[in-house]
Amino acid sequence: MLSHEKVWAAIDALAARHSLSASGLARKAGLDSTAFNRSKRYSPDGRPRWPSTESLSKVIEATGASLGEFMALIEGTPETPRQRAGRASVPLIGFAQAGAGGFFTDAGFPVGQGWEQIDLPGQVSEAAYALEVQGDSMLPLYRNGNVLVIEPSAPVRRGDRVVVRTTEGEVMAKILLRQTPREIELLSLNQDHPNRVFANQEVDWIARIVWASQ
């Protein structure tokens, strides 16, 4: 079923396939560079805004994707032959790299090549990647050196464990307590660290943690 969340996630996933940010995808399609910004996805009173059919048509044409491929992104990224064999290989990124500029699109997808790859025991989407925990701020759930698998195209709901990157370059793993069109409230995994509340414009991206090493 189509939903506001899934359609925008599919646009972000299509951008990531071409190593583009949402703004870069909009420019490639001949649209205003802000057309797909997160701030444009809701009206000032909090009502969801949907991309127009004209915008979607231009994006599909500009990327050479088919309508079927775009619909597949809406429903979930299809498996690759390696994933159907029961294992997946994903790029491994350190939290320090995640906080630096230029390594991610504004939807939370890694860009570029040359990342170290790690094998996982299960199946994940082509958009998934891994973050290596650094430090003790996420104890007791996640320890230094643990690997977290992130699915940036997966829907994020209240109670999910998530990774958040702020516009200041801070990257953190938290539990999503509340998300409104205006702000995001996060519960800290470590009781020694305070809960955090951010205005939406202070957040670059938020993505769900779907697996963690022990």
Mean pLDDT of the chain: 81
Question: Residue 177: its pLDDT value, please?
Answer: 95
Kindly report, residue by residue over 61-96, the tens digit of the pLDDT: 998 888 888 888 887 644 444 443 445 678 888 776
150 or 42: whose pLDDT is higher? 150
Neighbours of 41 (CB within 10 A): 19
Q: How far apart are CA 102 and CA 77, in angstroms?
A: 24
pLDDT surpassing 80 at residue 143 = yes
Question: Residue 83: its pLDDT value, please?
Answer: 43
* Topology of domain 81-212, CATH: Umud Fragment, subunit A (2.10.109)
The structural architecture, per CATH, of the domain 4-75 is Orthogonal Bundle (1.10)
